[in-house]
Amino acid sequence: RFGSSRFLHRPRGPSPVRVEPGTAPQACPHPRAMMKAAIGAIVPMVGLEQAAGNSLYLAKLCRGRVCTDPKMPLLDYDRQQDACICRGHPCWDADGQTHTCSTPEYPHLRFLYDPMRKLHCDCSARPFLSSVFISKSLCAGQRCEQDDYPELDWDEEKGECVCRRNPCSHIEGVVHSCPDSRFPILRYREEDPETAGGEPKKICECVARLDHARHMEMDQEL
């Protein structure tokens, strides 16, 4: 099994933290207790932070696109193709090695790129969803360590990397949550406006954990 997670006390701050070349990413702090709710439901909760991975920049760049194939679950942007694509988790095939996370306390496979754009994989207590384009091409060597601002993103206006809250914590003052452990990732995406010149439709949804072994089992069952 690759990489056991470590519990660390970390400095808090909204700015991305530099990662030295060759340094593996550190594990996230201990997760907050999950709340009970109906299976598969997104639960609106005021004042509750939901950790997951979301990019406002990518949601805008790839508006109207969604990835539904569990083997290619990550919506991303390919600079060479100048197009939005669906891709697999980079740690599922890292130089021919498949990384997995089987420890219940740290079940979420996370990736990060150091300043040399070398891939690092580890296991996190916090649900994780990110973009290779942002993590590798735009913000290589940076990570977000503050619980309240966990999402590494690109600020198009400032032209710099930033740490954001989950976008679903800013939709009409309501924070959404994914309490079902089978669908722990709170994903934010956007659809095109219903009318010309209107606001894009903002969508929060719960999706399954990025589990390569489970996807392989599903293929075998079929």
Instruction: Summarize pLDDT for 43-92 with one digit per residue, the tens.
Output: 333 333 344 557 999 999 999 999 989 899 999 999 999 999 999 999 99
The pLDDT value recorded for residue 194 is: 86
**Alpha-carbon span 33 to 181, nearest angstrom:** 12
- What region does 10 belong to: left with phi over 0, alpha with psi -120 to 50, or beta? beta
Q: Considering the entire predicted model, what is its pTM?
A: 0.72
pLDDT > 50? residue 38: no
For the chain, the average pLDDT equals 76
Q: Note the pLDDT tens digit of each residue in 89-146.
A: 999 999 899 999 988 899 999 999 999 999 999 998 888 889 999 999 999 999 888 8
How confident is the model at residue 30, as a pLDDT?
28
Q: For residue 150, what are its two tokens?
A: 């966990």
